[in-house]
Amino acid sequence: MDSSTVSSAVMDTTGSTEPEATPGLEAADFAVIGVYFAFILAVGIWVMCRTDRSNVDGFFLAGRNITWFPIGASLFSSNIGSGSFVGLAGTGAAAGIAVGAFEWNAMLTLFFLGWIFAPVYIAAGVVTMPEYLRKRFGGERIQIYMSVLSLLLYIFTKVSADLFSGAIFVQVALGWNIYLAMIVLLLITALYTVTGGLAAVIYTDTVQTFIMIGGALVMMVLSFIQVGGYEGLETAYFQAIPKIRPANTSCGIPRKDSFHVFRDPIDGDLPWPGLTFGLTIIATWYWCTDQVLAQRMLAAKNLTHAKGGCITAGLLKILPMYMMVMIGMISRTVFPDSVACATADECKKYCGTAVGCSNIAYPKLVLEIMPTGLKGLLLAAMLAALMSSLTSVFNSGSTLFTCDLWQKVRKNASEWELMIVGRIFMLFMVGVSIAWVPIVQTSASGQLFDYIQSITSYLGPPIMVIFAMAIFWSRLNEPGAFWALMIGMVAGTTRMIMDFAYGAPLCGEEEYRPAILYKVHYLYFAILLAGLTGISAVIISLLTPPIEKQNLRRLTWYSRFLKPTQKLPPHGEDNPAVVGDNDYDIKVSTEMSAVENNSENQDKSGKGSINDAEKEEETSLLKRAFFLFCGLDKSRKGRPAEKSVIINSIEEDKTRSTIVDVACMLMLCVMVFLFAYYA
């Protein structure tokens, strides 16, 4: 690519050229980071000591006893990982505020989660989202497919992207090798995730939410002071043009619509029809059917607390536009040559990759404008975002693998075995994610957020459509759902493979991709893919036998309040689902638990006490410490795992329900105002 100097050096708002060197961390910053890690580990250990982590319900669902604020904080921090800090700021630096619409749209889809999807999930009494599909349709092939696909999406879009972005931050701050940085971050994260279960994840997420928001708000105030407020940003952003860029092109020049959320439907980088409809499809998949987010709903004390958590998370989603997207835009005004580099040679010089350096916008600005001590606070906030996101994915990923896949292979697996397998699978996810990082590094023209959203646009819409139809259309059956998912998967995977195979031309290069790639935006493709999946599901379902209505109790929107029936006979692959959450199962499970508890008490007080003492003496001190640390109950080592058959009521107190409904309406009004104001 021919690179030439076509413009003079652009001055920043202080009247100087871009700073040549970025200041590093000092002793006070490291002290702040050390205090942060000590505090987080203390909270994690405290939660580990007061929760039962030795069984599936306690480890994966925190005993179903979490209140609204920790749920909301955990929803927010699980979503806002280090990938958001790096990705949102990077895309903001490159293209303006439109990417902030992804954050505000979450208020609508969180309403869907709390008021439409969560009541059905809770009524169905499930632990995982694939388990809901198994109950709804019968058979196991949809459940297995969904579990495998979800795990792949976690690795390709969540873990690897968050690891990469967190490592960028550490690399810019400390100068470490990016892979060394990732390994260090993983070791710290795994310490309480592998051992603590969902309760440790949720409560540490709550603490980290305060750290994350507090640090980011300080950064936001100092950043806007740097450019003279919002009006100053509007002026300075359009002047932030790199000194070296390709001749006779628009490369490196800010978009004219940078301060508009809704953009041209044909030529816009985020066209408004796609942002309105395609984004809603993707966001509904992410917030309402993804295990990471839905698992927090299932851990709630009741439906009202689940709704309250959705409102809390939705209101917090107002902030990323101002404390991430616009911070990236400010970073471009301070570092036009590096953050907005327009040639491959310049980008390699500043960040080591030819496709662009917008991903370094946030960490570079932190180190430039934050005073000593506060740099450490911001790095701690960044690490908080990374760790909260990773812990959520690790816990949910191990839940899917253990409950939906491993138990298919080992139907009589003990509680002990499931706990061990779940922890080992977390470590496996880590290894595969690290291996995928180089792909993330070179994808989406260096804009991490675009990479994440494009992948989900190719694989997420079919899942969203099947979940929505499963809840609202009783006629949808197993063959219709399964083959529609297969058709959607083939279409989406084809587009994704083509994207990776062709790549994207660098700015200034001629377009060489097929028209389907560059003329059909990924948000438009999401709409087309959802339509294809829905039509396929309807046609195939109408051509095959329906599911009997008695087998849909508490599994659809219309049957969520019905009482469970007596146990139905077993069914085959293509037969309707058996409703497993019935009074008989609960009674048997309760009686078995009582018998087991009585047996344990007799062993402790009677003849078994001598044998237990002898076994304790034989067990080494180190092994006992390991069992205690991991929360593994030795008495469960040979005990078959019990199926979760708890019936969760979705009845609500009228007064509290009215309060959360009013709060939800206010949240949606705020969303409409923000979109209208920045349209």
- Give domain limits for the chain: 24-582+648-678
Counted residue by residue, the chain has a size of 679
Q: What is the share, in percent, of the chain residues with pLDDT greater than 90?
A: 27
pLDDT score of 34 more than 50: yes
Specify the range with the lowest mean pLDDT, choosing from 58-72, 101-115, 335-349.
58-72
To which residue do tokens 């350096």 refer?
357
- Residue 127: partners with Cβ closer than 8 Å, 6 or more residues away: 56, 60, 61, 298, 399, 403, 644
Dmax (CA) of the chain? 90
Architecture of domain 24-582+648-678: Up-down Bundle (1.20)
pLDDT score of 480 more than 90: yes
For 307-336, the pLDDT digits (tens) are 999 999 999 999 999 999 999 999 999 999
3-state helix, strand, coil in the chain (%, to 5): 70, 0, 25
Of the ranges 135-144, 367-376, 480-489, the best mean pLDDT one: 480-489
Of the ranges 106-120, 170-184, 568-582, the best mean pLDDT one: 106-120
Cα(650)–Cα(631) distance, integer angstroms = 31
The alpha-carbon radius of gyration of the chain (Å, integer) is 26
Write out the two tokens for 599. 């047996």
- Predicted confidence at residue 594, as pLDDT, reads 43
Say if residues 167 and 158 touch (Cβ distance below 8 Å): no
